[in-house]
A and B are shown apart, each in its own frame.
Chain A
Amino acid sequence: MLLIHCPYCNAERPEVEFAYAGEAHIARPTDPSQLDDDQWRDHLYIRSNPRGLHYERWRHIHGCGRFFNAARDTLSDKFVTTYKASLPRPQIVQSEDTP
């Protein structure tokens, strides 16, 4: 079982308390009516799906109930860091063994 650090509870909690909520930092277009269908489709469905470092949303649904963001390596499944929802993407230097 994975232990995930909740930045609100400030505690390591088992993964069964959490729900995954997709890629993080996807900004909703400020004026959707200006977008054509392809741009709207890209906003809704097209995600980066990287091999390696991924910034993603999680929710501590069976704990404090908060949404927060995490940087996770999709290859090793290791959480690099977690941070509160309103904060910008932290700069992370990739170690040598991650692609």
Chain B
Amino acid sequence: MTMHPHHPLSGEGIALHKPFPLTIRPLADKARFSLRIDPDQRIAASAVLGLNLPGNIGDVAYAGEKTAVCLGPDEWYVTVPVADQAEIEAGFAALYAQQPHSLVDVSHREVSIGIEGRDAALVLQSAIAFDVDAMAPGSGCRTIFDGKAQIILLRDAKDRFQIDVWHSFSEHVWHFLQVVAREIELDI
């Protein structure tokens, strides 16, 4: 797994075996983009990305290792393997003449944390104020973690979530997750 030498969560990991298996771990580096574009131009942008940008706020689209979540009426958060970054940037630069937009590389602003296991939603519920379990698999949103840290939360599957959070907040989020995992382990 590739991780930046200054990754704040490098070498960390949480694994529980009781009452049910639960793993919380930093995920490998990826390229991350904040995309703002006229929603009518979604098809042109999707062609460049090689992924169908979802039209409804909260929906997530997957294509291989590429992911896009619709965060607002004209805003998407897109993550792709680092190897695909240059090609996508070049594709959007070519699109710019016909369709002005903003594609910002935020790869190094955030780190990703994966939470997987039967109790994954329960873990997140300790820090998130809406009903986490009501999120449909394949949906996501921007929200606030523990009343402080802004995150982007994806529910990839019923038992699997991803948090993308700014570097500066990642240690706080990580320590919070450690404490919650310990509470679950001790059944308190």
Give chain A's interface residues, CB within 8 Å of chain B: 1, 3, 8-14, 16-17, 62-66
The answer to whether A64 touches B71 (Cβ under 8 A) is: yes
Pairs A-B, 6 closest by C-beta atoms: A14-B129, A64-B72, A16-B144, A9-B57, A65-B72, A62-B144
The answer to whether A62 touches B142 (Cβ under 8 A) is: yes
Residue on B with the closest CB to A60?
B72
Give chain B's interface residues, CB within 8 Å of chain A: 57-58, 71-73, 75, 128-130, 141-144, 147, 150
A contacts with B: majority SS: loop
B129 contacts across to A, CB distance below 8 A: 1, 14, 16
State A3–B134 Cα separation when bound (angstroms).
14
Residue on A with the closest CB to B57?
A9
Can you identify 18 A-B contacts, CB atoms within 8 angstroms?
A1-B129, A3-B130, A8-B72, A9-B141, A11-B130, A13-B130, A14-B130, A16-B129, A16-B144, A17-B144, A62-B142, A62-B144, A62-B150, A63-B72, A63-B141, A63-B142, A65-B72, A66-B72
A66 contacts across to B, CB distance below 8 A: 72-73
The answer to whether B143 touches A63 (Cβ under 8 A) is: yes
Residue on B with the closest CB to A14?
B129
State A56–B141 Cα separation when bound (angstroms).
24
The answer to whether A17 touches B143 (Cβ under 8 A) is: yes
A1 contacts across to B, CB distance below 8 A: 129
A17 contacts across to B, CB distance below 8 A: 142-144
State A65–B57 Cα separation when bound (angstroms).
11
Q: Which of B73, B75, B147 has the most CB of A within 10 A?
A: B73
The answer to whether A8 touches B147 (Cβ under 8 A) is: no
The answer to whether A62 touches B143 (Cβ under 8 A) is: yes
B75 contacts across to A, CB distance below 8 A: 64-65
